[in-house]
Structure 1
Amino acid sequence: MKWLRKKRVLLLLFIGFTAILFLSTNWMSWFYPIHYKTEIRKHSLTYDMDPFLVAAIIKVETNYKTGRESKKGALGLMQLMPDTAKWALQKAKLPDVSLDELKKEPSANIELGTWYLSSLSKQFDGNRTAVIAAYNAGPGNVQRWLSEGSWDGTEAAVKNIPIGETRHYVQRVIYYYEQYTEIYSEF
């Protein structure tokens, strides 16, 4: 009989804890955390970008793990390609930042990645889906797809993106973007 009481107590504790967890407004943030909030917020404000988009890009690129370098040579949290990073460093007027810093320093990488997203946003007239695709496949590819009509740049037509890796990338970034905007009322 004692074992039955213990089971009931444990069950009630579990139910109580679960109820508290699910009634909490922030419980989903345990499953979808955003790291480097201060840096993301700061650089998003500076470059007029949606911080949730920056966070979603970082989540998909590296899952917030610093020091990453891809097989293709992409650097840091936001996985900037070296040639793109060199170009962006000149255009953004951040001459004191090295490629090595972009790999190791989260704030420098987030700043340059956010600047680059802002540049893409201007190039694609704020079309978030095209910006995400361009971040992955390059703006030249996205411009070509749009001008040829193989993709219209909308989220509804993501399935028409000619490169499977980019199609999947856009879907993943949008997924995390939607999770973050639903979970976090503000950044």
Structure 2
Amino acid sequence: MSFGKRAAWILLVLASVFLLLNTPVVWKWMYPIKYEQQIVTAALKYKVDPHLVLAIIRSESGFATDRVSKKGAVGLMQLMPETAQWIVNEAGFRPKDSQYLYDPVMNIEIGTWYLDFLLSRYDGDIVKVIAAYNAGPGKVNGWLASEQWNGTRDTVEDIPYGETRQYVQRVLYYHDRYKNIYDFQLR
């Protein structure tokens, strides 16, 4: 086989592989959803973008309900027990038992309520919300007040904490991916 024919075959194979990989089935395999109904239900209830909830869960726990971080954050949305207790009191949730953060329904409900709280606090700006979800609103408010960071997506690299900077970048990446792959019909 001549070089030209071989090159043409290689190009054809590569184009076929690219087309195969660039299909909704492959993208959904790469970016799966677990607990879809619970996420959509909580997103509807609190008027939060379900793609944001998905991106947070993917970044925080990879959909593992039993995940506990080194700092003590628990469950799908990696809620700190103190923050979760504040939310439970503030929102009037009634957990069944002391292990409620391991319950996917309760964890998603509490975490989505908190995202709604942060969205209200930051006028719907998801970049600031994501940063506050990770570092806490006090830190984010301090960065904004001292002009260490202006709160925009274009200046994420200015976030003083490396962990938060990387977290915001990761969540935005997943948010964009999930938004391009899944179309939720929220009513």
What is the TM-score of this pair, normalised by structure 1? 0.86
From 154, 163, 172, the equivalent of 2:170 is: 172
Q: Which amino acid aligns with 1:53?
A: L
Residue 160 (structure 1) aligned with residue 158 (structure 2): yes
Which residue number in structure 1 is paired with residue 59 of structure 2? 60
C-alpha change, 1:129 and 1:23, in structure 2 (3 Å) is: closer
Q: CA deviation at 1:26?
A: 3.5
CA distance in 1, matches of 2:182, 2:75: 25
In 1, distance between residues paired with 2:146 and 2:98? 35
1:95 CA displacement: 2.7
In structure 1, runs of 5+ residues without a counterpart are 1-13
1:130 aligns with 2:144: no
**1:27 partner SS:** helix
Residue correspondence of structure 1 range 16-165 to structure 2 within 5 A: 21-22=20-21, 24-103=23-102, 105-165=103-163
1:9 maps to what in 2? none
> Displacement, 1:156?
0.4
In structure 1, what residue type is equivalent to 2:111? Answer: G
CA distance in 2 between counterparts of 1:130 and 1:99 reads 31
Distance 1:99 1:151, change over 3 A: farther
- Unaligned runs of at least 5 residues, structure 2: 1-12
2:156 maps to a residue whose letter is V
Relative to structure 1, the CA distance from residue 163 to residue 18 in structure 2 (aligned partners, 3 Å threshold; closer, same or farther) is same
Change (3 A) 1:146 1:29: same
Contact 1:89/1:97 (<8 A) preserved = no
Q: How much does 1:21 deviate?
A: 3.9
Secondary structure in 1 matching 2:75: coil
Task: State the shift of 1:72 in Å.
Answer: 1.2
User: 1:6 matched to which residue of 2?
Assistant: none
Q: Is the 8 A contact 2:67 2:74 kept in 1?
A: yes
Aligned 1:6-21 pairs, distance under 5 A: 21=20
Cα RMSD after superposing both structures: 2.1
Map of 2:4 onto structure 1:
none
Q: Percent identity?
A: 47
Q: Return the offset for 1:69.
A: 1.3
The answer on whether the counterparts of 2:95 and 2:106 sit within 8 Å (CA) in structure 1 is no
Alignment partners' CA distance in 1, 2:31 and 2:75: 20
CA distances 1:145-171 after superposition (whole Å, capped 9, x unpaired): 111111111000000001000000000
How many corresponding residue pairs? Answer: 174
Which AA in structure 1 matches 2:38? E
1:132·1:170 contact (CA, 8 Å) conserved in 2?
yes
